[in-house]
């Protein structure tokens, strides 16, 4: 067993794949004896991108349950309704060969693409996270761990923060409309949202309002029409008496929605009206009264913020 394989046995994957933002693949290579941390090198993008069918095959396997798919399933996913026009079986065999020999090759020359045959069917499978690390699956694992430790009465914050740091953009952003990516995309985005909003809730509970605000601002930069994040951010800003800023952010989002021929949801407009009402009363009198706890909209993950907002304005 060579040095790279020995490091894998110590918990360092042989390959690492980044699916958030730019799609990248890194290979574990030997490092100097005195260095105990793993050393990875990026596969040259031209080597990966020039093999588009092989790359798509890899992405599909990463999106499949158990990282496994039959040859027929892969052909159907890659070529959809255009299977009869070309020799898809031959092209897929070539793609699989490229994955074995180039993209999924370890430093020692072994391949991480597993071929399974049985019952007249050929299937392809990728190894587990221990050997082939994928950031999206690491996010899902950390999110699940956070839920488990919280149910046990322990602090989930380290797991949530670890999960959140993995997100560096949209999941497989070059394949947003690909049918084969939609199932995994829903799961990943669901976990991403759960992590974000639970982090916001925990930071608010710890009075770390600036950290909660930063999370929401950064999320809205990449997701400017996400009204759940918008409403939570407006609540935080209004609590800090930064209501004009909250309304400016709303106008920015409303303009984007208008360009998409959409309108802000009713609950968003209701919250904006409440913030505007508070602003006008503040300008009319030094001692003003606006919202009360019964008037506030209830957003499940920011109840603590809303209650403080109500106390500040009543």
CA distances from 277 to 21, 81, 289, 309 (A): 40, 56, 10, 14
**Confidence category of residue 8, pLDDT binned at 50, 70, 90:** very low
The pLDDT tens digits of the residues spanning 185-230 come to 999 999 999 999 999 999 999 999 999 999 999 999 989 999 999 9
Alpha carbon distance 183, 202 (integer Å): 29
CA angle 79/46/173 to nearest 5° reads: 55
For residue 37, what pLDDT is reported? 85
Q: Is the pLDDT of residue 25 over 90?
A: yes
Q: What is the mean pLDDT of residues 229-241?
A: 93
The pLDDT tens digits of the residues spanning 136-150 come to 999 999 999 999 999
Q: What is the mean pLDDT of residues 282-309?
A: 36
Alpha carbon distance 45, 25 (integer Å): 9
Domains of the chain by start residue, with CATH: 3-132 (1.10.10.10), 208-314 (no CATH)
Residues of the chain with pLDDT > 70, as a percent, come to: 82
Alpha helix positions (H), the chain? 3-9, 45-49, 52-63, 71-79, 88-98, 135-151, 157-165, 182-205, 209-222, 227-239, 243-259, 266-284, 303-313
Instruction: Assess contact for 116 and 123: CB atoms under 8 A.
Output: yes
For residue 87, what pLDDT is reported? 87
For residue 83, what pLDDT is reported? 58
């Amino acid at each position: 067993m060579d040095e790279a394989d020995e490091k894998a046995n110590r918990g360092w994957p042989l390959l690492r794949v980044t699916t958030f933002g730019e799609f990248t693949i890194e290979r574990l290579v030997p490092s100097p004896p005195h260095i105990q941390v793993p050393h990875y090198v990026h596969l040259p993008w031209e080597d990966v991108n020039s093999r588009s069918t092989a790359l798509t095959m890899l992405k599909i396997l990463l999106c499949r349950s158990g990282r496994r798919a039959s040859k027929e399933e892969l052909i159907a996913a890659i070529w959809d309704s255009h299977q009869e026009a070309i020799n898809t079986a031959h092209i897929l065999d070539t793609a699989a060969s490229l994955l074995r020999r180039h993209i999924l090759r370890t430093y020692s020359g072994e391949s991480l693409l597993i071929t399974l045959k049985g019952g007249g069917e050929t299937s392809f499978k990728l190894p587990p996270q221990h050997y082939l690390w994928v950031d999206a699956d690491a996010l899902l694992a950390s999110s699940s761990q956070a839920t488990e430790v919280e149910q046990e009465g322990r602090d989930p914050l380290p797991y949530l923060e670890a999960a959140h740091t993995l997100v560096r953009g949209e999941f497989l952003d070059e394949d947003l409309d690909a049918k084969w990516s939609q199932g995994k995309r829903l799961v990943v985005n669901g976990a991403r949202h759960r992590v974000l909003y639970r982090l916001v809730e925990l930071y608010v509970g710890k009075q770390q309002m600036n950290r909660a605000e930063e999370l929401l601002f950064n999320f809205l930069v990449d997701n400017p029409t996400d009204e759940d994040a918008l409403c939570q951010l407006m609540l935080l800003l209004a609590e800090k008496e930064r209501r004009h800023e909250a309304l400016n952010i709303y106008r920015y989002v409303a303009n984007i929605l208008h360009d998409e021929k959409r309108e802000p949801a009713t609950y968003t407009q209701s919250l904006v009206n409440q913030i505007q009402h508070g602003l006008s009363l503040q300008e009319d009198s030094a001692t003003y009264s606006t919202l009360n706890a019964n008037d506030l909209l209830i957003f499940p993950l920011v109840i603590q913020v809303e209650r403080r907002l109500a106390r500040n304005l009543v």
